[in-house]
Amino acid sequence: MPSATAEDYLKTVYQLADGDEPVPTSAIADALDVTPPTVTATMKRLEGHGLVEREEYKGVRLTEEGTLIALETIRHHRLLELFLAEHLGYDWTEVHDEADTLEHHISERLETELAAVLGDPTADPHGAPIPTADLEHTGADDDPLSEYAEGEHAVVTQVADTDPEILAYLSDAGLTPETELEVREVAPFGMVTVLPEGREETVSLPAEIAAAVRVRPTDAEPTGNGMTVLE
């Protein structure tokens, strides 16, 4: 059984991966707030267990076994986040850190029971897709709000869950999953001004916050498996 540290590293590599390109050591170090030599040493150990493949000076890729462990860890994390929010009264700004601790310590039985109690959900409180029980990741690859142009209409599908201050800011602005919005202005320095549905006043988002919000066009409809279909 992988250690909590191994699961954290595998989950991070999975979330940073972009296609078949190896994930750089520096990116993993930044995401986990550790030093690059620490990442290198850990990746050598994970390679020895057949969980990653390393390319010198380029980075790492997950093996099939490493991918399955990453997906299972992500499934635990997102089920826990949803349970904490829906059944224990946690705010969506609080669930990430709690789930980060608990995700390594739940049994397969508890995972199954959590999914059943929650009605086999497909997304966590932040809109992130929950891998299926068969460890299939079915989420759509939606674009950051920061890439949208003035006049475009979109629906919020997911927001980054790691920064409580950003989550509180988005909540106050009314920008939560399934909120429709119109992009009113994109400033040269990256500030994005939007009008959320049902609001009379616009909201201006700094570039880093707009990049943390994932959206899909309003002429796209989600299918039952979490993918997006353009009409």
| Rounded (5°) CA angle 74-76-81 | 95
- In the prediction, which pLDDT does 140 show? 66
Helices 36-48, 4-16: axis angle to 10 degrees equals 100
- In the prediction, which pLDDT does 229 show? 30
Q: Is the pLDDT of residue 177 over 70?
A: yes
pLDDT 10s digits, 76-110: 999 999 999 999 999 999 999 999 999 999 999 99
CA distance 71 to 183: 34
- pLDDT band, residue 223 (cuts 50/70/90): very low
- In the prediction, which pLDDT does 168 show? 93
Q: What one-character DSSP code corresponds to residue 137? A: -
pTM score = 0.88
Q: Could you tell me if 130 and 78 are in contact, meaning their C-beta atoms sit under 8 angstroms apart?
A: yes
- Report the SS3 class of residue 13: helix
Domains of the chain: 4-62 (1.10.10.10), 143-230 (2.30.30.90)
CA distance 50 to 43: 10
Find, among 207, 162, 153, 205, the residue nearest to 182 by Cα.
Answer: 153
β-partners of residue 196 are 181
Q: Is the pLDDT of residue 33 over 80?
A: yes
- In the prediction, which pLDDT does 230 show? 27
Rounded average pLDDT over 58-79: 97
Rounded average pLDDT over 20-32: 95
- pLDDT band, residue 188 (cuts 50/70/90): confident
Q: Is the pLDDT of residue 222 over 60?
A: no
Q: Is the pLDDT of residue 182 over 70?
A: yes
Q: Could you tell me if 82 and 118 are in contact, meaning their C-beta atoms sit under 8 angstroms apart?
A: yes
Q: Could you tell me if 157 and 214 are in contact, meaning their C-beta atoms sit under 8 angstroms apart?
A: yes
CA distance 165 to 133: 32
| Rounded (5°) CA angle 57-31-70 | 85
Average confidence score pLDDT of the chain: 91
Q: Is the pLDDT of residue 225 over 80?
A: no
Q: Is the pLDDT of residue 131 over 70?
A: yes
- Report the SS3 class of residue 85: helix
